[in-house]
Amino acid sequence: MKPKVKRIDMAIHIQEICAKYNLTVRYQTLKDKQPNYYARPATKEIHVRPTKNTGYYVSTLHEIGHILGDYQGAQWGTDYAGLSQDKIILTKEIHAWIYARKNALVWTETAERVMRKAMDSYGWGEIEKKIWKDTTDRCEKLEKVGA
């Protein structure tokens, strides 16, 4: 069995990614009751909660995914053509979660619940659910061989 990933490991992981890619992190005070997560790809900034638990950790990775993940912006180029605004948003959201899933040190039931709740709020459809399932299967296979 893999050693348990501690909160400090998750916090350091976030710091390492941000240092490596020169991202600015702004932390929301834990006194705020309402979560307020966002990413500003143009200025490479994320606004997140401190890495206090797995849910906050994967939510932060998701915001980083809006900057470093696939299908997020400029690098998408002309592929935007013909897609509705709703579809563009869903595509960005699922791929930011895929970035989180692929990069997370650990993916727990809490992580999965946070992800599903977020995608539910955007009204994800069969296409996004299929993409997510394929990613999950691939990640689980890699985790099994210890890659």
32 with 56: CB under 8 angstroms? no
Q: How many angstroms separate the CA atoms of 77 and 60, rounded?
A: 25
Mutual angle of helices 54-68 and 7-20, in 10-degree steps: 10
* Shorter beta-carbon distance to Zn ion: residue 10 or 64: 64
Mutual angle of helices 85-103 and 109-122, in 10-degree steps: 170
Q: How many angstroms separate the CA atoms of 27 and 6, rounded?
A: 20
91 with 147: CB under 8 angstroms? no
* Shorter beta-carbon distance to Zn ion: residue 54 or 65: 65
- Residue showing tokens 């500003």: 40
* Shorter beta-carbon distance to Zn ion: residue 10 or 96: 96
* Shorter beta-carbon distance to Zn ion: residue 9 or 18: 18
- What x-and-dash track marks residues 31-70 binding Zn ion by CB under 5 A? ----------------------------------------
- Least distance CB 6 / Zn ion (angstroms): 26
Total number of residues binding Zn ion (CB under 5 A)? 2
List binders of Zn ion among 86-115 (CB under 5 A).
93, 96
- Least distance CB 42 / Zn ion (angstroms): 15
Q: How many angstroms separate the CA atoms of 129 and 127, rounded?
A: 5
* Shorter beta-carbon distance to Zn ion: residue 96 or 98: 96
- Least distance CB 31 / Zn ion (angstroms): 23
Which residues are at the interface with Zn ion (CB under 5 A)? 93, 96
